A and B are shown apart, each in its own frame.
Chain A
């Protein structure tokens, strides 16, 4: 796992170091939109926690497509190819709850992904105003998962919170359509992220987050899914 991660980081650094080798033009992009995530194990854990409620609760959200933002810096190597470094932030979560006149009980899961890596972009079509590119990206994906349970019955309340993390390699491919304006471009990109599911461990004590029905298995985070974002791009000339 660590070797794989080291490999990804090395690749990202190599891509980044190529900035100084060739080319003259640099740019920055900022994008924001929605990303879906598979998170099968977390959905499964959510179902299990709900089944332990003393009352018939309900899952009100289960890892829906949610916010994904990214920032990247790139260098135009050739007319059609650019290399860059990128950071992405994605979040989603789930909640189950029950409330009546006597009190309430709820469990909230919040998942955050920080992806850092390198990307390569190939411009497929170029017009006076529109550019269509295909991008490929490889990242180290750091997941932070918080699970909070809370109950309040009449005047008595209690709760607990656990934080887990995982690190996984991930790769994505996307198509990007940009409309060129003076000094900057606006557009849209959509793609698919494949995340190599990684085992979650407790941040405080390193204990694995085990499957409550199979203590031999550790639950994993999995951000595999589609994403679509609006994108802004500016050129920096040095």
Chain B
């Protein structure tokens, strides 16, 4: 009888150890309801030009219109080189012929990151973005370089 009681007490003790440490494993799961996506548009001085030439330099100006959201960042890349980055909705930068090794047409990529309005946790802390990629053909003219 005494043996059984000891065994029962030991088993009760062992099964109760876990209960001595408070824990709550529940996680409040949410399916975020997305808001309307921001209305995004961008205009540059290259919009109406056909293969604008980079002779001694080329200035690029841009302006972002965004409604119902926020522009996070812009990266401008050409010939695998980041030539400009900014979090401003307008600005300008220069492209120089020294970026290219030879004459010819190359592509300027302008990648805009802006709020997704998904209402998720990442969206609320600015860690989730929609992207808009603009491409412009530009002509590197190294022939006329002095």
B14 touches A (CB below 8 Å): no
Convert A60-78 into 0s and 1s, putting 1 for each residue whose CB lies closer than 8 angstroms to a CB of B: 1100001101000000000
The interface on chain A, measured as residues whose beta carbon lies within 8 A of the other chain's beta carbons, has a size of 38
Beyond A55-B30, A99-B28, whether A67 also contacts B120 by CB under 8 A is: no
In-complex Cβ contact of A100 among B21, B24, B121, B127 (8 A): B121
Chain B residue nearest to A156 (CB atoms) is: B127
* B20 close to A89 (CB less than 8 A): yes
Contact residues in A for B124 (Cβ distance below 8 Å): 54-55
A213 touches B (CB below 8 Å): no
Counting residue pairs across A and B whose Cβ atoms lie within 8 Å, the total is 87
* A100 close to B120 (CB less than 8 A): yes
Stretch at the interface among A105-113, A119-127, A167-175: A105-113
> How far apart sit A156 and B128, CA to CA, in the bound complex (Å)?
12
* B28 close to A57 (CB less than 8 A): yes
* A69 close to B16 (CB less than 8 A): yes
* A32 close to B29 (CB less than 8 A): no
* A60 close to B24 (CB less than 8 A): yes
* B26 close to A100 (CB less than 8 A): no
A89-115 CB contacts (< 8 Å) to partner B? 89, 91-106, 108, 110-112
Chain B interface bracket (under 10, 10 to 19, 20 to 34, 35 or more):
20 to 34
| Distance to closest chain A CB from B119 (angstroms) | 8
* A100 close to B22 (CB less than 8 A): no
B27 touches A (CB below 8 Å): yes
B39 touches A (CB below 8 Å): no
Among B20, B24, B29, B118, chain A packs the most CB atoms within 10 A around the CB of B24
* B127 close to A153 (CB less than 8 A): yes
Contact residues in B for A203 (Cβ distance below 8 Å): none
> How far apart sit A57 and B26, CA to CA, in the bound complex (Å)?
12
* B121 close to A153 (CB less than 8 A): yes
B19 touches A (CB below 8 Å): yes
For the A-B complex with A55-B32, A91-B22, A93-B22 known, give 19 more contacts whose Cβ atoms are closer than 8 Å: A32-B16, A54-B121, A55-B30, A55-B119, A55-B121, A55-B124, A56-B30, A60-B28, A66-B19, A91-B21, A95-B26, A97-B27, A98-B121, A100-B120, A102-B123, A102-B127, A151-B121, A154-B127, A184-B5
Please list the residues of chain A having a beta carbon within 8 angstroms of any beta carbon in chain B.
32, 54-58, 60-61, 66-67, 69, 89, 91-106, 108, 110-112, 151, 153-154, 156, 184, 232
- Could you list 23 examples of A-B contacts with CB < 8 Å? A54-B125, A55-B121, A56-B30, A61-B24, A66-B19, A66-B22, A67-B20, A67-B22, A93-B22, A94-B24, A95-B26, A97-B26, A97-B27, A99-B27, A99-B121, A100-B31, A100-B120, A102-B120, A102-B122, A151-B121, A153-B121, A153-B125, A153-B127
